[in-house]
Each structure stands twice: as C-alpha cells, then as structure tokens.
Amino acid sequence: MRTFVAITLPISDLLDKVLLGVRPMGKVVEGKNLHLTLKFLGEVTNVEEIRKKLEEIVSSRFSITLKGMGAFPNAQNGRVLFVRAYPEDQLRKLAQAVNSKTGEIPLDHPFNPHITILRVKDRRNFSELISKYEDTVFLESKVTSFSLFESILRPDGPIYNEIQKYQLM
C-alpha cells in the first residue's frame, strides 16, 4: 500500500482563486487533496505496525500560516510550485517525530514545510509568480491533528484515503 503522513488543511478563498489561475500551467492539486506531507512512506506492507507507532507521538496543537510561494528545484527552473508553511520549527519538530517512529523507512528527501499546488512536465520559470505572492498570506489555521493516508494513483489524479487521524494535545 502506498502511504504518507500529512497534515490536512482547509482551502481558503484566496488559495482557491490562485489554484484556478495557475491551472493552465500544469497539473493543479485539487483543493480537497491539499496537504502538508510530514513524511512520504511509499509502498509499505506493515501499515498496522506504522499506525500503532504513530499513536505514540505526543505533540501540541499549533497555528499554521501559509504565506508566499516557492518552487522545486528552484524558481527559475521549476517543476513544482508550492506555498510555504510556517512556523517551520514546529512543523519540523512534528515531522521529526513522525520520522523517528518510522525510522526503518528512509526519507526520500529532506523535510521542507510546504503545500504543493502545481506540477508541470516541462520546467518553467515561476519567478514572476513567486514575486507576486511573496508577502501573501493564503491561510491561517489551527493544526489539531495529522493523519496516515493511503495514496492511490489514477490517471485523472490521486485518491487519498485517510487510514487514521492522530489528535494533537
């Protein structure tokens, strides 16, 4: 089963408007699928074991701010457009807790707190768009939980099924 651990977030009107605006550029992440990945686990067979280990995580609730944009691998030569997530220290702490409980699964890349909003096949210069939204706050919300998800890849877009939700204190 293909899995990941993430924080789900509501979609703001402004972020929804931005998603509509960038849709012609590539493959937009649908609002219902927006999430902040704490760790991509990939194909796993021990879902029940992982589910139980994640129950051991104790972390406080916190506020999250989605502000500004960025691109991977960089703004001038991007394949992925994202919205930055803050506070980085609190998000890193939660991601490290998830990683320590799932340590047998290596990280596929270093943690970088963000919400992916667009993927493109051909590299693209996102500099102008990133500049335009540099100081824009897209969302402020409380993080009260994180979840373990199954990811089913389909030609028309992925389907994410929540396996278990974990409440923060």
The answer to whether 147 touches 5, Cβ cutoff 8 Å, is: yes
**Distance from chain centroid for Cα 15:** 14
CB-CB contact of 54 with 168 (8 Å): no
Residue of 7, 15, 18, 35 marked catalytic:
35
**Residue of 39, 84, 101, 114 with catalytic role:** 114
Q: What is the CA radius of gyration of the chain?
A: 16
DSSP SS3 for 51:
helix
Q: Catalytic: 114?
A: yes
Whether 35 is catalytic: yes
Choose among 94, 78, 76: nearest CA to 36.
94
What distance in Å separates the CA atoms of residue 48 and residue 81, rounded to the nearest whole number? 33
List the catalytic residues.
35, 114
